[in-house]
Amino acid sequence: MRGPHNIWRLIRTGATLERTGAMGVVLEAFNAPKPLRIMARSIVWPFRWLGIKGDQNMPPVVRALSALGPAYIKFGQVLSTRPDVVGGEMATQLRVLQDRLPPFSVAEAKKAIAAELEVSADQIFSEFSEPVAAASIAQVHKATLAETGQVVAVKVLRPGIERAFRKDVDAFYFAARFAELFLPGSRRLKPTDVIKHFDGVVTGELDLRLESASASEFAANTAKDAGFQIPTILWQHSGRRVMTMDWAEGAPLGDNDALDAAGHDRHALGSRVLQLFLSHALRDGFFHADMHQGNLKVAANGDIIAYDFGIMGHIDEYTRRVYAEILFGFIQRDYQRVAEVHFEAGYVPADRDVDEFARALRAVGEPIFGMDATKISMGRLLNYLFEVTERFGMETRTELILLQRTMVVVEGVARSLDETLNIWDVAKPVVGDYIKQSIGPRALASDLMKTAKVIARFGPRLPGLVESALIAQSTPVETPPVRVWRYVALGIVAGAAAALGGSYAALLWL
C-alpha cells in the first residue's frame, strides 16, 4: 500500500490545491517568499487538470481539503484555531471543517445502527433527526429513546471511512520515507515516527468503543472540576461504529455573538479553557486532544461542555514533570533551569554546552515576553524553541507531539474568545500548583508510597525470592566471609522491602 503508486496521490494533492485556487491562498497565508510561490505553482500547474474539482460553493482552501479526504480535513481543523497563523478570514472559513461538512443520509445512518446494535434503529429511537453535525469521520443525530424518552446524541461513523483514511495515511507514510531518504536534514524530525503516531491516534478514533471508554475515564478524572461537564455514555446503545450519549445543550464555543447574547463572560471562558487543558494534561496525564470550537459548548449556567473524545492524549508522570518544569521555567524566565531540564531529561545530547543552550533559550523567550499581551503566543514560543533545539541536535519527541499540537489548538480557541488574553498569566497558577505538588517533599512521599505499594504486592513471594537468590549466589568458589556478607546484604534488602511493604499496609489499615 505504501509503494511508489502514492506519488500519484501526492501529485493529485498539489493539483487539487492549484485547481481549486487554494494553492495561492495557502502560500499567501503562510507569507511564502515570492520565488517559492512562483516555483511551487510552476511545478504544480502542468498537473492542474488532474486535481479534484470539489464543491465550487465552498471557499478555495475548504473546497480543496474537503475534496482530498479525512486526513487533510483534520489538518484544516487544526488551522481553523490559528487565526494568528493563517489570518482571521481563513480561520473562519476553515471552521466549516469542524462540524459542517456534507452529511450522509439518515437511511444510511439507521442502516449502520441496525448492523452494529443488531436492533432496528426505529425500535431504539422514537425520534431520529437529520444530522446536526457532520465532521470528517462521523456525524451526529439528535434522537429520543423510545423506552425512556431521554434526549440523546447518536454518533455514527461515515460509510467507508476506514478505507478512505487508510489511503491518505499511506500517502503520508510514503512522503515521510521519501523525505528521510532524499532530505537527510529531515531525519532528526523523525517524519515516519510522527506519521505513525498520527496514524495510531486517528485509527483509535475509528473505533467508537474506544471513544466511549475514553469519555468514561475522562468524566471520572474531571468529576470535581468546576465549570466543566462531560456527557454520560449510554453503553447499551453503543458499539464500534455507533456511540450514544446524553444530549449536550448549549451555545457553540465558536459563536461569539451567541455567547454575548447569552451573557457569558468570554474572557473567563477563554481562561477556563486553557486552564482546564493544562490541569488535565499535568494533573491527570490524560487530556482531550481535539479541543477545537466544534467540540465545545457553553451551557446556560456557564459550564463548558466537552464532547467528541476520539482523540485523547496520554503522557506518563515523568514526562509531565519535565514538561511542567520547562513551561514554568519559561513563565519565570529562568532559562538556565529550562536548559538544565532539557539535559537532565536527555532531550539534548550531553556533549552540548548547557550555558550556551540557556543563552539561546533566553534569545527565544525575552522577545516574546516583551510583546504586548495580544501578541504573546505559546505557538510562537514552540516554533522558536523548535528552531533552537534543532541547532543543538534535539530529536523530535513523538510522545510530546499531541500535547504540543493540542496546546496550540487550545491557545487558538482561547484567543478566539478574547484576543487580549495573556496566555502566561492564565497558565502560571495551574503550572505553579502542579510544580509544588509534583516536586518536593510531598512528591517524594508520594513516590515512596507508590514504590511500597509495588513491593507490598510481592510480599508473599519475598521469602522464596530471597531463598532462590541465596542459593543461586552460593557458589563453591566463594570464601565463607564473602558468602556471609552476601547473605547480610540480601537480608538488608529483604528487610527493607518488608518494612516498606509493612508500612504501606499499616497506612492502609489506619
Domain ranges of the chain: 6-98, 250-439, 442-509
3, 14, 16, 484 from 50: Cα distances, Å: 20, 9, 7, 81
The confidence band for 98, taking pLDDT boundaries of 50, 70 and 90, is low
* Res. 507 pLDDT band, cuts 50 70 90: very low
Identify the three-state secondary structure at position 152.
strand
The answer to which of 170-179, 443-452, 470-479 has the lowest mean pLDDT is: 470-479
> Is 228 a residue whose pLDDT tops 90?
yes
Q: pLDDT, tens digit, for every residue of 123-142?
A: 999 999 999 988 778 899 99
Q: Considering only 418-427, 447-456, 467-476, which range has the smallest mean pLDDT? A: 467-476
Q: Which three cell numbers stand for residue 249?
A: 445543550
Mean pLDDT across the stretch 433-450?
A: 72
pLDDT of residue 403: 80
Of residues 453, 452, 454, 463, the one with CA closest to residue 494: 463
Q: Tell me the backbone φ, ψ of residue 135, rounded to 5 degrees.
A: -110, -165
**DSSP sequence for 184-242:** GGGGGG-HHHHHHHHHHHHHHHT-HHHHHHHHHHHHHHTTT-TTEE-PPB-GGG--SSE
Q: SS3 for 104?
A: coil
Residue 306 to residues 131, 143, 222: CA-CA distances in angstroms?
Answer: 19, 19, 11
Q: Which whole number is the average pLDDT over 281-302?
A: 91
Strands 296-298 and 286-288 come out as unpaired
Residue whose C-alpha cell is 459563536: 255
In eight-state DSSP terms, residue 252 is: E
Tell me the helices (H) and strands (E) count for the chain, helix number first: 24, 10
Would you state the pLDDT for residue 298?
96
Q: Categorize the per-residue pLDDT at 501 as very low, low, confident or very high, splitting at 50, 70 and 90.
A: very low
144 φ, ψ (degrees, to nearest 5): -125, 130
Catalytic residues: 290
Per-residue pLDDT tens digits for 284-294: 999 998 888 88
Tens digits of per-residue pLDDT, 237-262?
A: 999 999 999 999 999 998 999 999 99
Least confident of 33-47, 84-98, 480-494: 480-494
What does the pLDDT read at residue 428?
85
The neighbour count for residue 81, using CB atoms within 10 Å, is 28
Cβ(104)–Cβ(158) below 8 Å: yes
